[in-house]
């Protein structure tokens, strides 16, 4: 109880999409998304993660042009107005490149740079990245996730990808276990408990994104709607922080900040 581990950084989620699982459609205009992002900054976000394509199973895929039309004006507006670093959440190399050119500083790839095209683009861009683990593809990943040893397999993937990216000259590499991406409830819980192992195996800073995800509804079936999952999100955020997560990707920045501050005060 008396360790002085710093609280993790908070990455506020800005979805410029009509169909994201939690807030799809709510911020689907440049103005609404920018206002939302500014509110997250005021609430204490250390980073803002801007995404223009939902990865929810069943979400409609979008073209690179459509994704760029959604995210670029928001990145440009935010880059002009806030000093908070921006991250571009995209699976597409062309969108990552344009997002970085428009002012984002980090490429968050939920496919974890598995494809040669994404790896080659990361090599060319030499920007910081988040490499996330996902089993399968967004459309089908939740159909039948299967692992012999989920922690060992996710750790091995993240370690190999991070080493490949480092060898390619990528300057800063975050790892992310990819909560909800091709994982059952048991897999998700095992990975959150195993954050110390994942960090130890990879020797990288770790980002964890469990905010409002459906694993919470598997524990509390009454929390069917994502906006009914704040309690579960805070419990997961505190657990991830306690386990050593360096950054949390969250929808509810003020509430998460408060929960972390109270936990830190108890430890002090």
Which of the residues are catalytic? 213, 249
Q: What is the DSSP string of 9-70?
A: EEEEEEE--S--TTTTTTT-SHHHHHHHHHHHHHTT-SEEEEESS--STTPPP--HHHHHHH
Q: Which of 67, 89, 246, 252 binds ligand HH2 (CB under 6 A)?
A: 89
The residue (of 56 and 92) whose beta carbon lies closer to ligand HH2 is: 56
Q: Are 245 and 206 in contact (CB under 8 A)?
A: yes
CA dist 101 and 72 (Å) reads 10
The residue (of 34 and 108) whose beta carbon lies closer to ligand HH2 is: 108
Interface with ligand HH2, residue 252, by CB under 6 A: no
| DSSP symbol at 133 | -
Shortest Cβ distance from residue 268 to ligand HH2 (Å)?
A: 29
Q: Which of 33, 50, 122, 130 binds ligand HH2 (CB under 6 A)?
A: 130
The region of 20-28, 67-75, 185-193, 198-206 touching ligand HH2 under the rule CB under 6 A is 20-28
CA dist 6 and 2 (Å) reads 12
Shortest Cβ distance from residue 89 to ligand HH2 (Å)?
A: 5
Interface with ligand HH2, residue 17, by CB under 6 A: yes
Binders of ligand HH2 among residues 110 to 129 (CB under 6 A) are 110
Interface with ligand HH2, residue 179, by CB under 6 A: yes
Q: Which of 38, 47, 55, 118 binds ligand HH2 (CB under 6 A)?
A: 55
Q: Which of 10, 15, 62, 112 binds ligand HH2 (CB under 6 A)?
A: 15
Q: Which of 8, 10, 12, 22 binds ligand HH2 (CB under 6 A)?
A: 22
Of all residues in the shown chain, the one whose CB is closest to ligand HH2 is 209
Q: Are 204 and 162 in contact (CB under 8 A)?
A: yes
The residue (of 130 and 155) whose beta carbon lies closer to ligand HH2 is: 130
Q: Which residues pair with 107 in a beta bridge?
A: 88, 129
Q: Which of 10, 12, 13, 38 binds ligand HH2 (CB under 6 A)?
A: 13
CA dist 168 and 142 (Å) reads 31
Environment class of residue 156 by beta-carbon count within 10 Å: exposed (0-12), middle (13-18) or buried (19+)?
middle
Instruction: Label residues 52-83 b or e (16+ Cβ within 10 Å = b).
Output: bbbbbbebeebeeeebbebbbbbbebbbeebe
Chain residues in the site for ligand HH2 (CB under 6 A): 13, 15, 17, 20-22, 51, 54-56, 89, 108, 110, 130, 132, 176, 178-179, 207, 209, 249
């Amino acid at each position: 109880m008396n360790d002085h581990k710093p609280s993790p950084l908070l990455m506020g989620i800005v979805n410029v999409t009509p169909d994201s699982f939690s807030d799809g459609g709510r911020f689907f205009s440049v103005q609404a998304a920018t206002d939302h992002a500014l509110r997250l900054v005021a609430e204490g976000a250390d980073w803002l993660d801007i995404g223009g394509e939902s990865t929810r199973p069943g979400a409609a895929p979008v073209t690179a042009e459509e994704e760029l039309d959604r995210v670029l004006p928001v990145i440009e507006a935010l880059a002009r107005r806030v000093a908070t670093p921006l991250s571009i959440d995209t699976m597409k190399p062309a969108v990552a490149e344009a997002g970085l050119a428009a002012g984002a500083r980090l490429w968050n790839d939920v496919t974890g740079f598995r494809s040669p095209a994404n790896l080659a683009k990361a090599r060319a861009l030499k920007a910081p990245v988040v490499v996330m683990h996902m089993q399968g593809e967004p459309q089908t990943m939740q159909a039948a996730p299967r692992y012999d040893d989920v922690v060992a397999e996710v750790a091995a993937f993240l370690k190999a990808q991070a080493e490949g990216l480092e060898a390619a000259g990528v300057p800063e590499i975050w790892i992310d276990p990819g909560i909800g991406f091709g994982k059952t409830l048991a897999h998700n819980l095992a990975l959150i408990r195993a954050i110390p192992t994942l960090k130890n195996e990879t020797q990288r800073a770790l980002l964890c994104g469990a905010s409002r995800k459906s694993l919470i509804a598997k524990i509390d079936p009454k929390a069917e709607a994502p906006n009914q999952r704040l309690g579960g999100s805070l419990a997961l955020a505190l657990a991830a922080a306690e386990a050593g997560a360096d950054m949390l990707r969250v929808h509810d920045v003020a509430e998460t900040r408060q929960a972390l501050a109270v936990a830190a005060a108890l430890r002090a």
